[in-house]
Amino acid sequence: MRKEIVLNITGMSCASCVGRVERVLKLDTGVLSAEVNLATEKAAVAFEDTKTDPTKLMDRIRGAGYAASLLPRPEKDRANSQKSDKRALIAASVLSLPLVLPMLLEAFGLHLMLPPLVQLGLATPVQFIIGARFYAASWSAVKARTGNMELLVAVGTTAAFALSVYLLLTRVHPHLYFESSAVVITLVLLGKSLEHKARAQTSSAIRALQDLKPETARVLRGGEEVELPLSQVGVGDLVFIRPGERLPVDGTITLGSSQVDESLMTGENTPLAKTVGDAVIGGAINGDGPITVRVGSIGSETMLARIVRLVESAQAKKAPIQRLVDQVASWFVPLVLGTSTLTLLGVGLGTGDWERAIVNAVSVLVIACPCALGLATPTAVMVGTGMAAKAGILIKDVGALEIAHKVSVVAFDKTGTLTLGQPTVTLVRSLSLANENEILSIGAALQQGSEHPLARAVLREAQAKNLPTRVVRENRAIPGQGIEGKVEGTKYFFGSLAALTQLGLVTKEIQEELEKLNSQGETLSVLADRSTPAVLGVIAFRDTVRPEAKRAVRELQARGIRTVMLTGDHISSARRVADELGIDEVRAQVLPEQKAQIVDQLRAREEIVAMVGDGVNDAPALAAADVGIAMGTGTDVAMHTAGITLMRSHPLLISDAIDVSRKTYAKIQQNLFWAFFYNLIGIPLAALGYLSPVIAGGAMALSSVSVVTNALLLKRWKRQS
């Protein structure tokens, strides 16, 4: 059976590490796919559980020189690791400062260079004790027949240190490079520290979501309030929430009413009025009234937990553009080592100055930064998905985030997407000897158990008229056409005019009558007796257009995006809604499978298509589109099929989803440009001797920090809605 897990990995430093971990995972015959993300330090792995298991996968990662775990690193371990890194940075800075300070003072005419043996004494612990981590990581890379950032640093600083020792032993007044080896190590540690701090901010949106849920709940037991850990709260328990408190669980209000703020989960700015029977979400803030909630879901099944899982899963996966970058990065370290060797030989043989040749070669090694390449895409994706989640846009497919910026056509399902999905019965008309209440009663019997919006409208109308509940047998839904079944021994069909026409039950007189109703823009469902056979009557419906739908369509059109509406309704009712909203193109009376075909037709015209829907019948079209967008109030099938889910049924979020994609992709492009530009400019300058090892090391340390900082500018993104 196929299974998917997310592994936590520590010890990776650059894109080369990412490639190595992916390679060792894919060597396992049971692994179907493996995607490693440097920014999140996670690996998303799909595997056959009959051929391998998480323990074997983690052993493979450890064998490659990295630490791996199935559970997140405990905060205590993370804090200890950060303290250790901080102590190493402080120690390296204290030892390196006396080495670099005289070099800086020379610019002011002060010559305070330390004695050679003192320089050796200061540089040695930095190189071999504090810098031991670079040798350990380099050895792991060598064993795996690959390279990484640590290998470049280790080779470069060791060369500078060894050259200094050689000059110390062979010359009376040598010019030493101990400050280069020590300061480069210090700068790399400083860069990593700044990078980790910046990377921590990229996941701040997810941490904010994770911190929403309280640790305890006030449960009603035996008429008394008992405060219990959430682990001891069960489904069906009654939980009491005071004004101003966060809801600890998902559930339904059984007593009281209040205003509930769900903004951090749904992006809805305005608190929502909630009363008895309404559903509430764990992590939301209770407003002005005490409420009692019956627990509906707990732990990993709550909406908050599912939201966090979706976003974390998206962040753990790799954007399509990153795969190309990783292929380039896999050649990066060997290319740099080759360039450094050519620099050494070229300068040494060309000028005879081997000291200068070694210094130039060392500069090439320490200025090269595969980290910036590895972080350029995932950091932007992390910030983009996090900001989208805060706005109520859940992106579970990173590919959808990357593609959405190119969308040229948005195809909408009508009911529940552009309309409220709460149609009402406007007319019941008999086309036979049966009276109107009889037609409504039979229609309601056939629709029992159906979740279709039209079915709910029929049932509400029948209840409002106090019509008796009738027993239905052998009822069967026909997707996109209607429903049939037996009521009191007679077989009936209740569905679209097109379906009845195909069955040959619609006479010319009835056709004319129905066309009159259709011309008014109503949605019609026709009741027919299949036993006679004969058409008995018709029920007309009208749905209300969402208040914000017109603005949403205009927002998309202002971005140069064409809008198309796909619906199973008659062309007249579809045209009424389209004209009201300003939709560019209408495709009416289409079956679910035809929606997917229309999406394919649009894509065949080299359009990038986003499909927006909320029902089971939209799933094929959502899957066929370049980007599937599901309304959060829709069915689970739609949300599982789509790459993007809108937590609110707010069409303006569609434009926001495209906008956050455009901003994120722009940051990815900027980061990749600067990462490549930095290396393309820096390496030749170092090879030609224009950069000393110290300056090269500083530039390398700051390159990845600049990439992460640029990605963090995405946090300024604001939604239009």
| CATH code for the domain of 529 | 3.40.1110.10
Q: Where residue 277 sits, what CATH number does that domain have? A: 2.70.150.10
Block residue for tokens 């000393």 = 692
Distances (CA, A) of 645 to 311, 633, 640, 653: 11, 10, 9, 10
Read out DSSP for 518-566?
A: HTTT-EEEEEEETTTTEEEEEEEEE-PBPTTHHHHHHHHHHTT-EEEEE
Q: Which of 590, 618, 647 is the last residue of a domain?
A: 647
Question: Do 572 and 625 share a domain, yes or no?
Answer: yes
What lies within 8 Å, CB to CB, of 251 at 6+ separation is 239, 279, 280, 293, 294, 295, 296, 297
Question: Do 537 and 429 share a domain, yes or no?
Answer: yes
Supply the pLDDT for residue 73: 58
26 in a structural domain: yes
Out of 270-284, 318-332, 555-569, pick the least confident. Answer: 318-332
Q: For the chain, what is the domain count?
A: 4
351 in a structural domain: no
Question: Do 599 and 510 share a domain, yes or no?
Answer: no
Whether the per-residue pLDDT at 176 is higher than 70: the answer is: yes
Supply the pLDDT for residue 564: 94
Whether the per-residue pLDDT at 446 is higher than 60: the answer is: yes
Structural domain that includes position 481? 424-542
107 in a structural domain: no
Tokens encoding 95: 């030892």
Three-state DSSP class for 285? strand
Dihedral sign of CA atoms 311, 317, 320, 324 in order: positive
Residues designated as active site: 413
Question: Do 406 and 513 share a domain, yes or no?
Answer: no
Q: Measured in Å, how far apart are the chain's first and last C-alpha atoms?
A: 42
Per-residue model confidence as pLDDT tens digits over 221-260: 877 888 888 888 888 889 998 888 888 888 999 989 888 8
Tokens encoding 574: 């579809």
Supply the pLDDT for residue 126: 93
495 in a structural domain: yes
Q: Where residue 595 sits, what CATH number does that domain have? A: 3.40.50.1000
Question: Do 411 and 550 share a domain, yes or no?
Answer: yes
Per-residue model confidence as pLDDT tens digits over 551-599: 999 999 999 999 999 987 778 778 888 898 999 999 988 877 788 899 9
Supply the pLDDT for residue 402: 85
602 in a structural domain: yes
Per-residue model confidence as pLDDT tens digits over 183-205: 888 888 887 787 777 767 766 66
> How far is it, in rounded angstroms, from Cα 258 to Cα 241?
10
Higher-confidence residue of 131 and 150: namely 131
Q: Where residue 51 sits, what CATH number does that domain have? A: 3.30.70.100
Question: Contact 95/125 with Cβ under 8 angstroms?
Answer: yes
Question: Do 496 and 466 share a domain, yes or no?
Answer: yes
Supply the pLDDT for residue 490: 86
> How far is it, in rounded angstroms, from Cα 379 to Cα 395?
15
| Count of Cβ atoms closer than 10 Å to residue 235 Cβ | 14
Residue spans of beta strands (DSSP E) within 276-401 = 279-280, 285-286, 291-297, 393-395
Question: Do 413 and 499 share a domain, yes or no?
Answer: no
Block residue for tokens 């007044």 = 173
HEC letters along 146-202? CCCHHHHHHHHHHHHHHHHHHHHHHCCCCCCCHHHHHHHHHHHHHHHHHHHHHHHHH
% of the chain at pLDDT higher than 70 = 92
Tokens encoding 471: 């027993």
Tokens encoding 96: 């390196």
Report the predicted TM-score, pTM, of the whole model to 2 decimal places: 0.73
Supply the pLDDT for residue 345: 94
Mean pLDDT across 55-84: 77
Nearest C-alpha neighbor of 595 from the set 696, 480, 435: 480
Question: Do 574 and 534 share a domain, yes or no?
Answer: no
Whether the per-residue pLDDT at 282 is higher than 70: the answer is: yes
Per-residue model confidence as pLDDT tens digits over 606-620: 899 999 987 667 778
384 in a structural domain: no
Out of 134-148, 257-271, 406-420, 689-703, pick the least confident. Answer: 257-271
Supply the pLDDT for residue 78: 62
Question: Do 604 and 502 share a domain, yes or no?
Answer: no
Question: Do 460 and 413 share a domain, yes or no?
Answer: no
Q: What is the mean pLDDT of the chain?
A: 83
Question: Contact 691/682 with Cβ under 8 angstroms?
Answer: yes
Ramachandran angles phi, psi of 285, nearest 5°: -105, 125
Supply the pLDDT for residue 122: 93
Nearest C-alpha neighbor of 663 from the set 710, 595, 615, 703: 710
Per-residue model confidence as pLDDT tens digits over 671-699: 888 888 888 888 899 899 888 888 887 78
109 in a structural domain: no
Q: How far is CA 492 from the centre of its chain?
A: 47
- Scored b (16 or more CB within 10 A) or e, 50-87 reads eebbbeebbebbeebbbebeeeeeeeeeeeeeeeeeee
Read out DSSP for 669-714?
A: HHHHHHHHHHHHHHHHHHHTT-S-HHHHHHHHHHHHHHHHHHHHGG
Question: Contact 122/95 with Cβ under 8 angstroms?
Answer: yes
> How far is it, in rounded angstroms, from Cα 403 to Cα 395?
12
What lies within 8 Å, CB to CB, of 683 at 6+ separation is 336, 339, 364, 367, 368
Please classify residue 675 by burial: count the beta carbons closer than 10 Å to its beta carbon, then call 0-12 exposed, 13-18 middle and 19+ buried: buried
For residue 427, list its beta bridge partners: 540
Supply the pLDDT for residue 670: 92
Question: Do 402 and 442 share a domain, yes or no?
Answer: no
Supply the pLDDT for residue 407: 93
Whether the per-residue pLDDT at 310 is higher than 60: the answer is: yes
Please classify residue 111 by burial: count the beta carbons closer than 10 Å to its beta carbon, then call 0-12 exposed, 13-18 middle and 19+ buried: exposed
Higher-confidence residue of 231 and 14: namely 231
Q: Which of 542, 561, 578 is the last residue of a domain?
A: 542
> How far is it, in rounded angstroms, from Cα 201 to Cα 204?
5
614 in a structural domain: yes
Out of 72-76, 401-405, 479-483, 594-598, pick the least confident. Answer: 72-76
Query: Which pairs from 697-700 meet CB under 8 Å and 24+ separation?
Result: 697/180, 697/183, 697/184, 697/187, 697/188, 697/366, 697/367, 698/187, 699/367, 700/187, 700/188, 700/191, 700/366, 700/367, 700/368, 700/369
Supply the pLDDT for residue 637: 59
Question: Do 442 and 535 share a domain, yes or no?
Answer: yes
Helices 320-330, 370-390: crossing angle, 10 deg rounding: 170
Supply the pLDDT for residue 212: 74
Q: Which of 647, 671, 691 is the last residue of a domain?
A: 647
Q: Prior bond to 423 cis, omega within 30?
A: no
Question: Contact 574/523 with Cβ under 8 angstroms?
Answer: no
Higher-confidence residue of 144 and 87: namely 87
Whether the per-residue pLDDT at 480 is higher than 80: the answer is: no
Apex 203 CA angle, 201 and 208, nearest 5: 100
